[in-house]
Structure 1
Amino acid sequence: MPNIENLEDRIIEIYRWHYLDVYRFLICFTGNQNDAEDLTQEVFVRVLNNLSNFNTGSLKTWIFSIAKHTAIDHYRKKRFSSIFKEGFFKQLPSSEMEPDDLMERNEVKIIVHAAISKLKPDYRAVVILRGVNELTIKETADILQCSESKVKVDYHRALKILKNKLNIDPGEVIGNANG
């Protein structure tokens, strides 16, 4: 039974390497920790059940594609109105930052998250994948099953909408707005 042990080891390794990124994506997409935990579990059950069907391409991209479809299915079922309301894009605070600066940064993040939640799902997914998870344009295109140029255009348009709504540079909060 060495094959089973190897398969089990591979599954454990896949989970260990990709769990946090998938969880982060889902928490950003749903805005709810409990839903994100449930959906993350569902994603890895789907990965386990379909791993034998995976044979080419990037494993990470394939897993994120499953996560995206799981999140969209959830979104369609629930049709929730507020995403990111709890502000889960947490960064480790710098010990050099003043408490007032930390508070201001967190307030801006919450406002940005609220604005992101109002974007149409395609724009929201691109912003989360590119701006939050910092995936490449190619990885994002593979996950969203679209062209790289569509990713670039949607990301640019989404950031432009955010900038207009917020009157700030969203790149300062969610990542580099260029590229």
Structure 2
Amino acid sequence: MKNHDMIQRWFHDYHNDIYNFLIYYLGTKDVEDIVQEVFIKGYKHMHQFERRSDPKTWLISIARNIAIDHIRKKKRQQLLLSNLLNLFTEKDKLPQEWVLEDERKTELYKAINELKSSYRDVVIVRGILDYSPEEASQILQWKTAKVNLTYHRAIQSLKKKLKLEKWSDYIETING
């Protein structure tokens, strides 16, 4: 199969997964340009895809790296604040924005985004998007043991941040 046909198939199969990942990662629904950038970069670097992992995890790794670059270009806190304000003023919300619909989820969303980047990354990939430790290790380019340890520490950090007993049940559902 030619690279062009393969990337088209991947786009069809994984566009929504990349889109959802970037929404959670960047805290905005305005990620279509970045999604396209992921597939363009994937196409340009297809010769580096070793086929030892699932194409989706490889593409999410690319998406994560592009998102990190995007965050570095803008002051992260200004971007997050303006995006949250925009989300709350819009009347038509996408299904992916369910996480912002009620106050508890909004507080949890803010707490997750206040975590250090490695904790935030693993909570999004493992807790929200529900990838296995093995898939998360491919996406984050970490060893599986590091994924598990960092995820455990991130959940503990979230519990400390929220400091409310009413949150423990909700955090346990993320922790699985």
Q: TM-score, normalised by structure 2?
A: 0.79
Q: CA deviation at 1:159?
A: 1.1
**Aligned-partner Cα distance in 1 for 2:34–2:29:** 10
Equivalences for residues 1-179 of structure 1 within 5 A? 7-34=3-30, 36-58=31-53, 59-81=55-77, 82=80, 85=84, 86=87, 89-91=96-98, 106-166=102-162, 167=164, 168-169=166-167, 172=170, 175-178=173-176
User: Which structure features the higher share of helix residues?
Assistant: 2
Structure 2: unaligned runs, 5 residues or longer:
89-93
Q: 1:26 to 1:144 in 2, by over 3 A?
A: same
Q: 1:12 to 1:110 in 2, by over 3 A?
A: same
Deviating more after overlay: 75-84 vs 152-161: 75-84
Aligned to 2:148, the other structure's residue is in SS state helix
Q: 1:53 to 1:113 in 2, by over 3 A?
A: same
Contact preservation (8 Å) 2:3, 2:46? no
- Count of residue correspondences: 162
**Aligned-partner Cα distance in 1 for 2:98–2:41:** 29
**Aligned-partner Cα distance in 2 for 1:143–1:38:** 20
Q: TM-score, normalised by structure 1?
A: 0.78
Cα-to-partner distance string for 1:59-83 (whole Å, 9 max, x where unaligned): 1221111011111111111131137
Query: What amino acid is aligned across from residue 57 of structure 1 in structure 2?
Result: R
Structure 1: unaligned runs, 5 residues or longer:
93-102
Q: 1:110 to 1:31 in 2, by over 3 A?
A: same
Query: What amino acid is aligned across from residue 56 of structure 1 in structure 2?
Result: R
- The equivalent residue for 2:91 is none
Contact preservation (8 Å) 1:170, 1:177? no
Contact preservation (8 Å) 2:155, 2:171? no
Contact preservation (8 Å) 1:23, 1:37? yes
Percent identical pairs in the alignment equals: 35
Cα-to-partner distance string for 1:95-143 (whole Å, 9 max, x where unaligned): xxxxxxxx9x722111111111101111111011001111110111111
RMSD of the alignment, in Å? 2.7
- The equivalent residue for 1:95 is none
Contact preservation (8 Å) 1:159, 1:177? yes
Query: What amino acid is aligned across from residue 153 of structure 1 in structure 2?
Result: L
